[in-house]
Amino acid sequence: MGWRDDWPSMPDGKPYDGKQLVPLGFHIRTLKGPDMVARLARSDVNMPDFDGFPIEEQIQEVNFEAAVYNLLRTEPDIHISRLFYQRVPVLHPGPTSSIPKDLAGRRLFLFEKAEDVGNVWDELNGANKV
């Protein structure tokens, strides 16, 4: 049993290309708040036979990534969605013998949904992508 979900596929069976997140259900609409986009990790620390990055390392990664997003927002020339919330994986106590029924063991980030600006990644040249 793997410690990471298979890479998602498109409805036609092709590998997921990373585009069209909103139609694929990662878009969260709130009644009175802003629209959000969620990013959930593929690996779950509560999977049986989990052999991914140790939870201590994942906690550091989540905190570092959140700090980077907050730092980038201070730069006026860098346009980045606001990070509303980040969650480190929660390791359930005891042995794991079945697939988790919750998502607590996965890293989670909630971002403000930016206005549609197109897929700017494809418009960048190689040097700008680096």
Q: How far apart are CA 31 and CA 97, in angstroms?
A: 38
What's the chain's average pLDDT? 81
Q: What are phi and psi of 78, to 5 degrees?
A: -110, 120
Q: How far apart are CA 54 and CA 30, in angstroms?
A: 34
Q: How far apart are CA 29 and CA 22, in angstroms?
A: 10
Looking at per-residue pLDDT, the higher value among 86 and 10 belongs to 86
Q: What are phi and psi of 105, to 5 degrees?
A: -85, 10
> Residue 88: what pLDDT?
93
Q: How far apart are CA 20 and CA 60, in angstroms?
A: 29
pLDDT digits (tens, 9 = 90+) for 26-52: 777 778 888 888 888 878 888 888 888
Looking at per-residue pLDDT, the higher value among 8 and 117 belongs to 8
Say if CB 48 and CB 56 are below 8 A apart. Answer: no
pTM of the predicted model over 0.85: no
- Single-letter code of the amino acid located at 77: D
> Residue 89: what pLDDT?
92
Nearest C-alpha neighbor of 2 from the set 39, 51, 37, 57: 51
- Rounded (5°) CA angle 115-30-4: 80
